[in-house]
Homo-oligomer: A and B are copies of this chain.
Amino acid sequence: MADTTPTPTPAADPAAAWRGRRRRKDHGTKRDAVIRTAARAFDERGYHNTSLDDIAAALGVTKPTIYYYVPNKEQLLFECFLAGLEPIRAALRRAEQTQGSGRDRLREVIHDYAVAIASEYGWCMVRAEHQDLGPELSAQVRSLKSEIDRGIRRLLQTGISDGSIAVTDPKLAAFAIAGALNWIAHWYRAGRTLTSDEVADAFVQLLEHGLAPRAPDGGKPVRTPGRVRRAGVAAKS
């Protein structure tokens, strides 16, 4: 890298956690860089086509260095899954503590879920399937996915009870929401036309109101003006 190139932030270039900067990096920062680099490699090449050697090479370190932070590739996939999931779990915790209608609270969860899936961890979150993980990690993945699913169903049920949501089957609705959002990992790439926040706003609108035109007296906007405006920008891409 030429000296004139701006130093990438750790988020933009995980390898920067190792090189260039003289100050000592802590164990957690380097471990995060390993996980982030793995997430990007799995996304680009697929889990089965990515070796720990590839990840070490991307970071400019040796494979034993990788082993210092994670015991194996399976654990790396699991760690990517956890890193991506945490913002969604945090959004659900906030929703549980917030006042407001079920729909208002679910809206924020959908937004933050979309942003999380549009992150570099999105592909791992969607790909962390039981056939790639041993029984113990697989059980943990299923448990955490169920926790998210139950949280969304609870908010749907709250919205049905308070009249802010009109679906007949919260279980199917939760699957539809999760599907639309998880799929973002299949098509979204950062740095193209839309930011993850713009995608999230557009998905909130779609999931709340569907494809059908709203009746004249049902047309009041449901996001704050700022968010509606950003979704409008997304619409032009």
Residues of A within 8 A of B (CB): 45-46, 48-49, 103, 106, 129, 131-132, 156, 159, 163-169, 171-173, 175-184, 186-187, 199, 202-203, 205-219, 222, 231-232, 234-237
User: Are the CB atoms of B132 and A212 closer together than 8 Å?
Assistant: no
User: Are the CB atoms of A131 and B206 closer together than 8 Å?
Assistant: no
What are 24 A-to-B residue pairs whose CB atoms are below 8 Å? Answer: A48-B48, A48-B132, A103-B212, A156-B211, A164-B212, A165-B213, A166-B214, A168-B205, A168-B234, A168-B235, A173-B206, A173-B211, A176-B183, A179-B182, A179-B184, A180-B180, A207-B210, A207-B211, A208-B212, A209-B212, A214-B215, A215-B215, A215-B217, A216-B217
User: Are the CB atoms of B171 and A237 closer together than 8 Å?
Assistant: yes
- State which of B172, B206, B210 has its C-beta within 8 Å of the C-beta of A202: B172
User: Are the CB atoms of B213 and A210 closer together than 8 Å?
Assistant: no
Say how far A57's CB is from chain B's closest CB, in angstroms. 18
Find chain B residues with CB under 8 A from A206 CB. 167, 172-173, 176, 210
Find chain B residues with CB under 8 A from A209 CB. 166, 209-210, 212
User: Are the CB atoms of A211 and B159 closer together than 8 Å?
Assistant: yes
- State which of B165, B172, B208, B235 has its C-beta within 8 Å of the C-beta of A169: B235
User: Are the CB atoms of A202 and B166 closer together than 8 Å?
Assistant: no
Task: Provide the main secondary structure of the chain A interface.
Answer: helix
User: Are the CB atoms of B208 and A46 closer together than 8 Å?
Assistant: no
Tell me, in angstroms, the Cα distance from A156 to B219 when the chains sit together.
20
User: Are the CB atoms of A211 and B106 closer together than 8 Å?
Assistant: yes
Known: A171-B237, A209-B212. A46 touches B132 (CB 8 A): yes
Known: A103-B211, A212-B165, A215-B214. A184 touches B180 (CB 8 A): no
Find chain B residues with CB under 8 A from A236 CB. 169
User: Are the CB atoms of B218 and A214 closer together than 8 Å?
Assistant: yes
Say how far A149's CB is from chain B's closest CB, in angstroms. 9
Tell me, in angstroms, the Cα distance from A186 to B182 when the chains sit together.
11
Least CB separation from A168: chain B residue: B235
Shortest beta-carbon contacts, A-B, top 8: A179-B183, A215-B218, A46-B131, A168-B235, A210-B210, A215-B215, A166-B213, A169-B235
